[in-house]
A and B are shown apart, each in its own frame.
Chain A
């Protein structure tokens, strides 16, 4: 799943909630996924173990 700056209109608390939801989707009962969040925000990137900095 590719996500483009989903949290851009959300405040910090809401962003955290949504990013948590996304991360929950990585491993579900019957599927493994990759979640890729494309962002320009370091605070968003800080939520992830794998950070690819292309700046």
Chain B
């Protein structure tokens, strides 16, 4: 059942990949794209938001004020930028020098039609609220610029069923740090969510909205070989091994498929890898036993090696 869904998901991935490219834009870019006609106004407003966000000490206050401002004064661009700048000048050291320029340029654009400005204001508002919300989410603390980027992260990931449009996952935000072990516990009765989460994390399907990243790179910027060949190892209960090959053969198969060059003969490396996981230590199996005939423990040992990106560097 899970397999079937998984395969379906894989087939879907080509169709979905275009969607993801669209979704891969940052919030800032979204704000700028809101309306071409008022591009400049949007840029100014966007600038305010960037400064607010990086101003650590007062970021909460600044973002709150900016949100209120955009809410109440959305009718006129001059007021929007003016007051946002004022809020910025109060709370940000970097913003004070720039606020005058923003004022001047906003005056030049005071003839912008009201509905457009309201549109920009609303989209900014939404964007600010989103970031305000993120500020409070505990996950964001770990994604702070002062720390290393998480090894794997999901940002507001939503996955909708293609036919029913029902959200299988909704606004899921997770981050996984390097050097840490995690257990992600799922409901055993919901195979669909299980398969969907694995497919999302493994890059087999693209989310309907949101982004999956490895360190600073969105999955959409990587092809399958880069992602699953170099960055990500995936161990699934099925399809991890070729039953017609022995343990050594399985490892060599994966090593060859990786397209990497190795400093030592691949066979020597493969033997070391099996020794490292005590393969066959307390069973009859040796490295020549076909994977289809392996004891479950040795099978699991071998899987952990075959699917580990560490093969490439050992």
Do these two chains really belong together in a complex?
yes
Residues of A within 8 A of B (CB): 1-10, 14, 17-18, 21-23, 25-28, 30-42, 44-45, 47-55
Contacts of A21 in B (CB 8 A): 277, 301, 304
Query: Is B313 part of the binding interface, using a Cβ–Cβ cutoff of 8 Å?
Result: yes
Contacts of A6 in B (CB 8 A): 235, 237, 300, 303-304
Of the candidates A2, A49, A50, which one forms a contact with B202 in the assembled complex, judged by CB atoms under 8 Å apart?
A2
| Given pairs A23-B181, A45-B183, 7 additional interface contacts (CB within 8 A) | A18-B297, A32-B179, A34-B178, A35-B181, A36-B184, A42-B185, A51-B183
Residues of B within 8 A of A (CB): 150-152, 172, 174, 176-188, 193-194, 197-198, 201-202, 232-237, 277, 296-297, 300-301, 303-304, 307-310, 313
Contacts of A10 in B (CB 8 A): 296-297, 300
CA distance A6 to B234 in the complex (A): 11
Contacts of A41 in B (CB 8 A): 188
Q: Contact: A33 with B237, CB < 8 Å?
A: no
Of the candidates B176, B183, B234, which one forms a contact with A47 in the assembled complex, judged by CB atoms under 8 Å apart?
B183
Contacts of B193 in A (CB 8 A): 54
Contacts of B232 in A (CB 8 A): 1-2
Q: Which secondary structure characterizes the binding site on chain B?
A: mixed
Q: Contact: B151 with A14, CB < 8 Å?
A: no
- Measured CB to CB, the nearest residue on chain A to B152 is A34
Contacts of A22 in B (CB 8 A): 181, 304
Contacts of B186 in A (CB 8 A): 38-40, 54-55
Please judge, given known A-B contacts A25-B310, A50-B180, whether A55 and B233 are in contact too, CB under 8 Å: no
> Could you jot down 7 A-B contacts, CB within 8 Å?
A2-B232, A4-B237, A9-B237, A17-B297, A40-B186, A48-B182, A52-B185
Q: Contact: A14 with B297, CB < 8 Å?
A: yes
Of the candidates A2, A3, A7, A45, which one forms a contact with B185 in the assembled complex, judged by CB atoms under 8 Å apart?
A45
Q: Contact: A1 with B309, CB < 8 Å?
A: yes
Of the candidates A4, A32, A52, which one forms a contact with B235 in the assembled complex, judged by CB atoms under 8 Å apart?
A4
Of the candidates B152, B185, B301, which one forms a contact with A51 in the assembled complex, judged by CB atoms under 8 Å apart?
B185
Contacts of A32 in B (CB 8 A): 151, 178-179
Q: Contact: A25 with B188, CB < 8 Å?
A: no
Q: Contact: B178 with A2, CB < 8 Å?
A: no
Q: Contact: B304 with A52, CB < 8 Å?
A: no
Q: Contact: B310 with A31, CB < 8 Å?
A: yes
- Measured CB to CB, the nearest residue on chain A to B178 is A32
Q: Contact: A30 with B313, CB < 8 Å?
A: yes
CA distance A51 to B176 in the complex (A): 11
CA distance A18 to B198 in the complex (A): 20
Q: Contact: B185 with A54, CB < 8 Å?
A: yes
Q: Contact: A25 with B194, CB < 8 Å?
A: no
- Measured CB to CB, the nearest residue on chain A to B188 is A40
